Amino acid sequence: MTYIIAKDFPHDILSDDRNPKVTLYVPTSRDINHNDEDKIRFGNLLRTIEKKLDKVTDQDTKKTIAANLNTLKDDRSLWNQRLEGFCIFANAKQTVIYVLQNPTREMAIIGQRFHQKPLIKDLQGLDEYQVLALDRQSYALYEGNRTGFRQIQLNEDEPKTIQDFLGEEFTESYLAQGSYGGASSRAMFHGHKSRKDEVDKDIERYLRLVDHHVMKQHSSVSKKPLILFALPEYHTHFRKHSNNPYLVDEGIKQSPRDIKLDALKKLAWNIIEPRYEARIDKLKETYQQALQKGSADNKIHTVAKAAVTGRVDTVLIEAFREIPGRIDTDSGRFIERNNALENFEDALDDLTDIVISNGGKVHVIPEEKMPTDTGIAAIYRY
């Protein structure tokens, strides 16, 4: 059996009725030198899962799941894709892996539902953004959030330089302009006005094409705020012709050359942080307004019943919070967990699955940002 690196959420495995359902959260390091440590950690989690499988399923099912997971240990292509960790969902039929952009805790869980909350927190993008680093020769893309930041590896067939974009239209005047000092240097035209005009036309076409490409291939897919990182004069020209609705008004107005990754992350987060705080505040404000109208709640018993009837439009769930128990998907009844059970049961996993399946939205946010102390803040449709 082969595994799947999932790009979309939710994946079909989440609606697969086969039990047991195995969930693994595996922290990893971006540093390849820690590869052995990551694999040791993964091996320890697999041993934990195998012991739990002994108690909840037959030996044939256990061997199938364990064998499929063990093949991942030596899969070089998988480990080469790691960022901050992996989320792994597995049953006897398939193994689905999400590559995490944010740090995660170690988890080895068996239950009647997959443990989705940490994954949703990683995917939801309330604090995520992209940076377009642009000079007159080439561009690069970065993505980040509160905790992580990395360069996006562009596909091999994507254009990356002005010459890639312009092709045969790339004028000799641009090549002959006498640019000394690297890509971030301003062109030196030696008094040739016509040559300068041709170069300006090249740059303008190049900026338009970069904008179109980034919008079509990246922004329209990720839907993340985009920060322009370029010299001041390129901000003016780029914004004048940009059709990217995700381009934010604020930008980083300096040369992309020779900047340290940590410094760029700090500059970008200074722009994004107020937006992130505003989005959280808006969710909390909407909840408070709905609560005053009687169309919101924060108790698991009542929210569960509303969820199964499709009444929940949006639910805020506290990160790393657990409510031991299950939700009956027919009646919405909350059933407290028997602590003697080997299976992991968290009613918030059930709630997450039910709300998403009924077209609602789930936001997993830090404890200190929650408007309630119950782990839940649900906003009803009616």
pLDDT of residue 125: 74
182 in the Ramachandran plot: left (φ > 0), alpha (ψ -120 to 50) or beta? Answer: left
Exposed e or buried b per residue across 211-247, where buried means at least 16 C-beta atoms within 10 angstroms of its C-beta: bebbbeebbeebebbbbbbbbeebbebbeeebebebb
pLDDT in tens, 130-179: 999 999 899 999 999 887 888 998 888 999 999 999 886 665 555 554 44
Confidence band for 184, pLDDT divided at 50, 70 and 90 = very low
Exposed e or buried b per residue across 272-309, where buried means at least 16 C-beta atoms within 10 angstroms of its C-beta: beeebeeebeebbebbeebbeeebbbbebeebbbbbbe
pLDDT in tens, 103-132: 889 999 998 889 998 998 888 778 889 999
Residue 133: strand pairing partners:
140, 229
Residue 264 has pLDDT above 60, yes or no: yes
Confidence band for 337, pLDDT divided at 50, 70 and 90 = confident
Calculate mean pLDDT across residues 9-13. Answer: 90
Domain extent listing, the chain:
3-123, 129-276, 294-380
Calculate mean pLDDT across residues 26-32. Answer: 84
Average pLDDT over the chain, rounded to an integer: 88
Calculate mean pLDDT across residues 335-344. Answer: 67
Please state the CATH superfamily assignment of the domain spanning residues 294-380 in this structure.
Ribosomal protein L30/S12 (3.30.1330.30)
Query: Poorest-confidence range of 16-25, 32-41, 42-51, 67-76?
Result: 32-41
Confidence band for 183, pLDDT divided at 50, 70 and 90 = very low
pLDDT of residue 182: 36
Residue 346 has pLDDT above 80, yes or no: yes
CB-based contact 28:85 (threshold 8 Å): yes
pLDDT in tens, 188-225: 334 445 666 666 788 889 999 999 999 999 999 888 99
CA dist 262 and 267 (Å) reads 9
CA dist 110 and 363 (Å) reads 23
Confidence band for 345, pLDDT divided at 50, 70 and 90 = confident
Top CATH class, 3-123: alpha beta
* Beta pairing class for 296-297 and 376-380: antiparallel
CA dist 200 and 189 (Å) reads 11
Please state the CATH superfamily assignment of the domain spanning residues 129-276 in this structure.
eRF1 domain 2 (3.30.420.60)
Q: Identity (one letter) of the amino acid at 45?
A: L
